Structure 1
Amino acid sequence: MNQSLFQYLLRMGDTTLVLSQRLSECCGHGPALEEDLALTNVSLDLLGQARLWLTLAGEVENQGRDEDQLAYLRDAPDYRNYLLVEHPNGHYGDTIARQFFFDVWHYFLLQALCASSDERVAAIAEKSFKEVTYHVRRSSDLMVRLGDGTPESHAKMQASVQTLWPYVGELFADDEITSDLAGRKVIVSHATLWPDWLAQVGQVLNEATLVLPDPDDANHPAFRGGTVGRHTEALGFVLAQMQHLQRTYPGASW
């Protein structure tokens, strides 16, 4: 088994799955019907992407586990998602700021993965990239509308940006797994995505009349650990809800 590839596929699958689950919590609670539908559609897009990554992870592992078993029968310490996506939804501004930071990173990452030396990874990236192109356009637009909106919406968005900023550094942290795969051109070094991400985020925040936090504040080690199974308590609540049926009735199908 290619352990590095397996672990990276879990990162991608778990990250999109957990964020999908977070966004699904917003269904029926959006500030407007159109936005309610849009958030739910993004959630479904991410769920579909999670299935692709986890299905491939199961194939690479070759231990008989499919995407459902990987999703529903692992505990929080076995999940490899980035901490940003398990952060609670909070108010609407928090949800949008989290989505914006993730979308811009996701866009540049998938764009690079389309050229992966592994045809399976490239195929998933190409399919997902089309969806994420819409995601990043949508969340960027909402950042501007809320940041450059009323005094209240501006203040809330600035607070959301400040609160979530320390979590973004983990998205660009390389380790033995990413270094190994980057050396074989399966992926790119995550650190190489930082300049483009920062430039794009800075441009949108400027248009939104929001202040870009100090880049150094995004690199605090206390806000890392998700990729090795060190999570916040928030993930446990997400998984408890998501896994309830399968844990209560093992093997249930319909």
Structure 2
Amino acid sequence: MKDNLYRYILGIADNSLILGQRLGELCGHGPNLETDIACTNMSLDLLGQVRSYYQYAAKIKGEGASEDTIAFLRKEREYYNVLLVEQPNTDFGYTMARQFLFDVYHLLFLTELQKSSDLTLSAIATKSIKEVSYHQRFSSDWIKRLGDGTEESNTRIQTAINDLWTYTDELFHLTDADKAMVEEGIGVDVTTLKDAYYKTVSEVLEEARIEIPESKYFQKGGKQGIHTEHMGYLLADMQYMQRAYPNMEW
């Protein structure tokens, strides 16, 4: 039970940590000031949620663990985020497509996590859902603006959606820890979210004049700790300070 709960929390929190890191990379590089600040604030929202999850995970793990050691001192195979969130900021279209495809899932997931029998997870979900509701509105609006904008913006966002679509199915895979937590009434059975997810995504894409990809081939592995080539570079950047100066205190 203890090990499964710890692994389950990491599976949730790592998604937000890695996506928050990706958004943080854009600070000062947004297409305009308002969007730059919005993306940075969304990164901070996600990292705030991550702190709550990791503090709880550290309490469960014990052994001197802290939110910082969990965030920064694991090896690549010990992160259980989905492959979608680690994809790079190729251009603004990719950034918004990645955000949108995750936000729709994240809001559905937190809505169900509020019903968890674990009061800590339920409280984190309840606290986070307002932020994630905004995230989904923001990314959905940008999908529509880019899709229904110029010929170039439509082409770019269509390309981004096509390329990232292959990572969406993994959102609905259940790990052994997921299954154990679902049985305990703690976790969310993400397989039940799939239809609502693709319905919402499809409605936004159609409004944005973006074709829904027909690809039936999907990538997976992140939930088992098997990542794309991008993950190692991301962790090298994120973990540098902790690795270079162990036990550093401000």
Give the alignment's TM-score, normalised by structure 1.
Answer: 0.96
1:147 matches 2:143: no
RMSD: 1.1
Task: Say if 2:245 is the partner of 1:236.
Answer: no
Q: Partners of 1:194 and 1:123 in 2: how far apart?
A: 24
Tell me which amino acid in the other structure corresponds to 2:33: L
Q: In the alignment, which residue of structure 1 is the partner of 2:198?
A: 198
The CA deviation at 1:23 is 0.5
In the TM superposition, residue 63 of structure 1 has moved relative to its aligned partner by 2.1
Give the Cα–Cα distance (whole angstroms) in 1 for the partners of residues 86 and 50 of structure 2: 15
Shift in Å, 1:181 = 1.1
Q: Which residue of 1 aligns with 2:245?
A: 249
Partners of 2:192 and 2:182 in 1: how far apart?
11
Map of 1:4 onto structure 2? 4
Indicate if the aligned counterparts of 2:166 and 2:215 stay in contact, CA closer than 8 A.
no
Deviation at 1:106, TM superposition (A): 0.1
Q: Which residue of 2 aligns with 1:226?
A: 222
Distance 2:220 2:216 in 1: 14
| Structure 2 gaps, min length 5 | none
CA distance, structure 1, for counterparts of residue 172 and residue 19 of structure 2: 18
Once residues 201 and 121 of structure 2 are traced to their aligned partners in structure 1, the CA distance between those partners, rounded to angstroms, is 26
* 8 A Cα contact 2:83 2:220, kept in partner: yes
Give the aligned residue type for 2:20.
Answer: S
Unpaired segments of 5 or more residues in structure 1? none
Choose 224-233 or 96-105, whichever is displaced more: 224-233
Number of the residue aligned with 1:101: 101
User: Matched residues in 2 for 1:116 and 1:216: separation?
Assistant: 32
Question: In 2, Cα distance between the equivalents of 1:55 and 1:81?
Answer: 18
In 2: Cα distance, 1:35 partner to 1:208 partner: 19
* Alignment-mate amino acid for residue 92 of structure 1: F
Cα distance in 1 for residues equivalent to 2:134 and 2:84: 20
Aligned partner of 1:118 in structure 2 is 118
Any idea what the Cα deviations from partners look like across 1:191-243, whole Å, max 9, x if unmatched? Answer: 111011111001100110111123734xx2xx211111111121111111111
Deviations 1:56-92 (A, max 9, x none): 1111112220110011111111111111111111100
TM-score (ref. length: structure 2): 0.97
Give the distance between the partners of 1:98 and 1:138, measured in 2 at CA: 12
C-alpha distance in 2, partners of 1:136/1:6? 27
Amino acid at match of 2:152: E
Give % identity: 46
Distance in structure 1 (CA, Å) of the matches to 2:176 and 2:81: 16
Q: Which amino acid aligns with 1:33?
A: L
Question: What is the CA–CA distance in structure 2 between the aligned matches of 1:58 and 1:45, rounded to whole Å?
Answer: 20
Structure 1 outlier segments of 4+, above 2 Å: 214-217
Q: How many residues align?
A: 250
